Amino acid sequence: MTHIETQLDRAFAPLAAAIEAGRIPGGVLGVVDRNGDRAVRAMGQAQTVPTSRPMTQDTWFDLASLTKVLFTTERTLALAENGRIDLDAPLTSVLPDFRHYNLDNWERRVTFRQCLGHQTPFPAVFPLYTYGRDPDLLRTFLLQHEFAAGPSVYSDINFILLGLALERLEGKWIRELDPGPGFAWSADPDKAAATEDCYWRHRVLVGEVHDDNCSALEGAGHAGLFGTVSSVLDFAAAKLNSAGPDTLIRTPVSGRRTHGWERPYEGWSGGENCSPQTIGHTGFTGTGLWIDFDRGHAWTLLTNRVHPTRHFDSGIIALRRTVGDCINAT
């Protein structure tokens, strides 16, 4: 058994236990190293309600907030590298109509870099989807909505706004943009992991975005990307062998964050055994990706832990940490 197969074997055990205990319907775990060697294993069910389908290594996942790092951060940093935006310029350099009825408000001073690092006063969540179903009008509403300033927290609003800036620069909606190699904005329901039995869309979501705001906006910068374990590992392998502008995704903007990504801190999702040169991110649907540049490997845990409902303690927080500790055990 190779080293990477040993890592996978060790780390798969807690995932298998969670599935066998009924806490998570199914999952896929994958590991890749700098040389391109990889190992993948799947278990459980891709869907249980209203029909049952097995999870496979080819199952497509709603990657949820992994969209932030796999797509939006990548696009934003590429625009900065090409000189089309200045990361330290305010969003109004691209979105001049952002809160333009009050030119002195704090929102108009928020920069691209602050949004990438979640260093803004925006609240963590905002139920934009409850304000209507017209995606054009919702975009306009968000740009004019007055938010109460608070402490800096992880906020979807940061990346929704970055997505609006991308749309404005490219003259296209998010779903008209290339999602990247191996990724898509939706998936064949027969090949996708199911997420939630949605109370306001009145159906089990399979192959369409789970995130409420992204659904209402018909595409956004904070969620909506779909991919398989292979596409996520391909992305990670490319990062393990990259340099240049990719150093920004490893450059801290705060104690817990880089540009777009998280970095290790006490209690973080990647576990206690990561090197300091690790970045990672998770997604609400039960997804996650961690890249350890010092050790030269990356791993992704993809689950459908919100199926058929989010209102259940799946144990995903502890599971992610345990899987990470097993991957990096000496």
Query: Domain of 139?
Result: 69-176
Of 37, 2, 11, nearest to 271 by C-alpha is 11
**Domain identity same for 217 and 314:** yes
> Strands, E, within 96-217: which ranges?
194-198, 203-206
**Domain identity same for 170 and 193:** no
**Domain identity same for 91 and 218:** no
**Domain identity same for 218 and 314:** yes
**Domain identity same for 312 and 164:** no
pLDDT, tens only, 17-65: 999 999 999 999 999 999 999 999 999 999 999 999 999 999 999 999 9
Compute the C-alpha angle 230/235/238, nearest 5°: 120
Beta strand 297-303 pairing with 26-33: antiparallel
CA 65/CA 71 separation, integer angstroms: 10
Phi/psi at 90 (5° precision): -70, 155
Structural domain total, the chain: 2
Query: C-alpha distances in angstroms, 50 versus 17, 47, 53?
Result: 24, 8, 10
The radius of gyration computed from the CA coordinates of the chain, to the nearest angstrom, equals: 19
Structure tokens at 263: 């970095």
**Domain identity same for 123 and 172:** yes
**Domain identity same for 210 and 313:** yes
CATH of the domain at 53: 3.40.710.10
Residue 299 has pLDDT above 90, yes or no: yes
Confidence band, pLDDT 50/70/90 cuts, at residue 81: very high
**Domain identity same for 59 and 187:** yes
- The per-residue b/e assignment along 101-134, b for 16 or more CB within 10 angstroms, e otherwise, is eeeeeebbebbbbbbbbbbbbbeeebebbeeeee
Query: C-alpha distances in angstroms, 9 versus 3, 38, 51?
Result: 10, 12, 30
**Domain identity same for 62 and 210:** yes
**Domain identity same for 118 and 205:** no
Token look-up 């940093």 returns 77
**Domain identity same for 139 and 163:** yes
Q: Are 250 and 235 in contact (CB under 8 A)?
A: no
Q: What is the pLDDT of residue 267?
A: 95
Instruction: Please say which residue of 146, 176, 206 terminates a domain.
Output: 176
Of 221, 236, 226, nearest to 183 by C-alpha is 226
pTM higher than 0.95: yes
**Domain identity same for 21 and 135:** no
Confidence band, pLDDT 50/70/90 cuts, at residue 244: low
Confidence band, pLDDT 50/70/90 cuts, at residue 246: confident
- Identify the three-state secondary structure at position 301: strand
Question: Terminus-to-terminus CA distance in the chain, angstroms?
Answer: 16
Q: Are 64 and 35 in contact (CB under 8 A)?
A: no
Confidence band, pLDDT 50/70/90 cuts, at residue 1: confident
Q: What is the pLDDT of residue 330?
A: 78
Residue 243 has pLDDT above 90, yes or no: no
Instruction: Please say which residue of 155, 176, 197 terminates a domain.
Output: 176
pLDDT, tens only, 202-232: 999 999 999 999 999 999 999 999 999 999 9
Query: C-alpha distances in angstroms, 240 versus 80, 277, 295?
Result: 21, 11, 10
Instruction: Please say which residue of 176, 198, 215 terminates a domain.
Output: 176
pLDDT, tens only, 96-151: 999 999 999 999 999 999 999 999 999 999 999 999 999 999 999 999 999 999 99
* Mean pLDDT for all residues in the chain: 97
CA 268/CA 263 separation, integer angstroms: 8
CB-based contacts of 315-319 (< 8 A; 24+ apart in sequence): 315/18, 315/23, 315/24, 316/24, 316/286, 317/269, 319/14, 319/15, 319/18, 319/24
Query: C-alpha distances in angstroms, 326 versus 7, 23, 318?
Result: 7, 20, 12
